[in-house]
Amino acid sequence: MMLLDPIEIVPADQVGPVHFIAAGGSGMSGIARLYSELGIRTSGSDQSDSTALQGLARAGVSTYVGHSADQIGDANTVVISSAIREDNVELVEARRRGLRVWHRSAALAALMLGKRAIAVAGTHGKTTTTAMTAVMLSEAGVDPSYVIGGPLSTTGVSSAAGSGDAFVVEADESDASFLQYPTEIAVITNIEADHLVNWGTPEKYAAGFRTFATQPNVRRVVINVDDHGSRALAEELISDGHDVIRYGEAEDADVRFTDVVAHGGGVKATLTYGDEQGPIILQVPGNHNLANACAAYAVGRLLGLTHDQAVDALGRFEGTLRRFQLITDTAGIRVYDDYAHHPTEIRAALTAARRATAAGNEATGLAGRLIACFQPHLYTRTVDFADEFGEVMTLADVAVINDVCGAREDPIPGVTGELVVDAARKAGAEEVVYVKEKYDLPAALNDMAQPGDLIITLGCGDVTIVGPLLADLLKQRPDAKVS
């Protein structure tokens, strides 16, 4: 996979019919849905069936399981992601016919033309911050369009075509997609080295965010000053005269949260912006989500919301799928699933999980443990961050490590989940178990789980199948009682 250069685009209503290769992907499915909603004849294929692909079929998209050259039909435009290889039979046929071939970022940018574009970028927190912003604007009556990298927990979908002029998107930095969008408000949640197989060095990766924040269309930058990388960029931008809104816990944040306390399953704090101050109560836990909410709040104020409108609407956000998502509470054992796949994301997820474990122990009088089940994602990322993955696993009482989910990458000799196991043991993790096959994970977790335990599956690969399979096993226990 290489970095992408922005290309010239035409409005979405001029590109159809359109065919999406790998339409069931988290980024692709939301875009395909919007093309179909615009009345453009839309089709899509993926190598395997999924709930996302089935949802597209219900939305009027012609869907196919598997790839075949004839499935692109009479499409004028074929949309691909960075994961699609050049030898994909549908892509080969599209190039043979001389069809327009767009990366998904170009297809999304075409939908954004003529709208007030809000692009949310960052190493971590993009999906939740984009979702919070979209829900906040929707709840406040702005009726935005949006494309999020994961489905909302309340609707099960990741995109919508609104009647308002705001268009909120999750902007992917991994392949420089975020440079394609006609961004007016640029949001940066943090900058921490990742995707170095594409960018080469941490310095080049960070420089990509500066390019993102200083594109010609960008009028305001909303940026996290609690994170070292994004704070450094904020200081550069301010020094160069750019219009910046800083957010976080830091004393110099323009949108600041303080006085943090747990509140039910969520969190409560004081939010301050200029002379305005008051409580903010979220239904999702963790300081990282308060930071995400501050970013969304700043966007809302820039788009004309009042303090009360923004705070009240953010309080109605219920999360996205695979972000600290409760799968089951059965036989006294809670099982969560989280998309975290970078060490910093995992640290945030396990910190929230540790608080939830402690709260559960206090409520029940049990000595429940925190069990983290982690599937490393990508061979290159595992090599880059094996030691950091091992260190963060020390936050759990028990670390269960799966083999690497290679996804779009070819295997690298010697790179397996055992690298993380060795690193975790070296870092002092209390108990580390290696389970190579993912389909063995549910039984292994069921065997070790005791009443009071909290189990969280972590990773952006197919580890997400483990929670529901484990839930079925827990239901078979004699003392099973589903909450």
* Paired tokens of 237: 């931008």
Which active-site residues does the annotation give?
126-127, 170
Q: Which residues contact 239 (CB under 8 A, 6 or more apart)?
A: none
Q: Measure the CA–CA gap between 340 and 8, rounded to whole angstroms.
A: 34
Q: What is the 3-state secondary structure (H, E, C) of the chain?
A: CCCCCCCCCCCHHHCCCEEEECCCCHHHHHHHHHHHHCCCCEEEEECCCCHHHHHHHHCCCEEEECCCHHHHCCCCEEEECCCCCCCCHHHHHHHHHCCEEEEHHHHHHHHHCCCEEEEEECCCCHHHHHHHHHHHHHHCCCCCEEECCCCECCCCCCEECCCCCEEEEECCCCCCHHHCCCEEEEEECCCCCCCHHHHCCHHHHHHHHHHHHCCCCCCEEEEECCCHHHHHHHHHHHHCCCCEEEEECCCCCCEEEEEEEEECCEEEEEEEECCEEEEEEECCCCHHHHHHHHHHHHHHHHCCCCHHHHHHHHCCCCCECCCCEEEEEECCEEEEEECCCCHHHHHHHHHHHHHHHHHHHHHHCCCCCEEEEECCECHHHHHHHHHHHHHHHHHCCEEEECCCECCCCCCCCCCCCHHHHHHHHHHCCCCEEECCCHHHHHHHHHHHCCCCCEEEEECCCHHHHHHHHHHHHHHCCCCCCEC
128 annotated to a ligand binding site: yes
Chain centre distance of CA 342: 11
125 annotated to a ligand binding site: yes
414 annotated to a ligand binding site: no
394 annotated to a ligand binding site: no
Q: Measure the CA–CA gap between 242 and 417, rounded to whole angstroms.
A: 44
- Beta-carbon count within 10 A of 10 CB: 13
Inter-CA distances, 386 with 196, 281, 418, Å: 14, 36, 9
Radius of gyration of the chain (CA): 22
122 annotated to a ligand binding site: yes
Binding site listing for ATP: 122-128
Binding site listing: 122-128
